[in-house]
């Protein structure tokens, strides 16, 4: 995706460039221990700053090709990231969370109507 600066240089207004980049949620709190009670996220860029043991977030139902970035910005607890209902992440079964260790980020790309592919930082 183009940088907002590049979009402005191409004729977008700053507001249009920010909208094209998607929303940012910079202080998400994970919740629950199941896909049914995890914190629903909807922004394109999510920084999770509160993660209790076993808690998580759930990805939104999106269009094929959409991307969601999630960063576990905590020092001690692994974040559970659930796919939307009935979907999968990588090789995991439907509705099963992927684990995002502390200080780790992942880009989740919607590959099909029921699957996500995760690219995790190292």
Put residue 95 in one of left, alpha, beta given phi > 0 → left and psi -120 to 50 → alpha: left
Query: For the chain, which residues make up each domain, given as ranges?
Result: 23-120
3-state SS assignment for residue 112: strand
pLDDT above 80 for 68: yes
Q: Give the tens place of pLDDT for each residue, 8-38.
A: 888 888 888 777 777 888 999 999 999 999 9
CATH topology of domain 23-120: Jelly Rolls (2.60.120)
Q: Given 3-state DSSP classes, what are the helix, strand and coil percentages for the chain, each rounded to the nearest 5?
A: 10, 40, 50
Specify the pTM: 0.88
Tokens of 116: 């996500």
């Amino acid at each position: 995706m183009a940088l907002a600066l590049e979009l402005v240089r191409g004729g977008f207004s700053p507001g249009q460039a920010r909208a094209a980049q998607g929303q940012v949620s910079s202080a998400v709190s994970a919740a629950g221990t199941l896909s049914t009670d995890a914190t629903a996220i909807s922004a394109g860029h999510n920084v999770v700053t509160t993660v209790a043991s076993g808690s998580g977030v759930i990805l939104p139902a999106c269009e094929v090709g959409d991307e969601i970035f999630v960063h576990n910005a905590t020092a001690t607890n692994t974040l559970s990231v659930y796919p939307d209902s009935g979907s999968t992440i990588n090789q995991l079964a439907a509705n099963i969370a992927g684990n995002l260790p502390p200080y780790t980020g992942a880009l989740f790309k919607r590959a099909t109507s029921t699957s996500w592919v995760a690219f995790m930082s190292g």
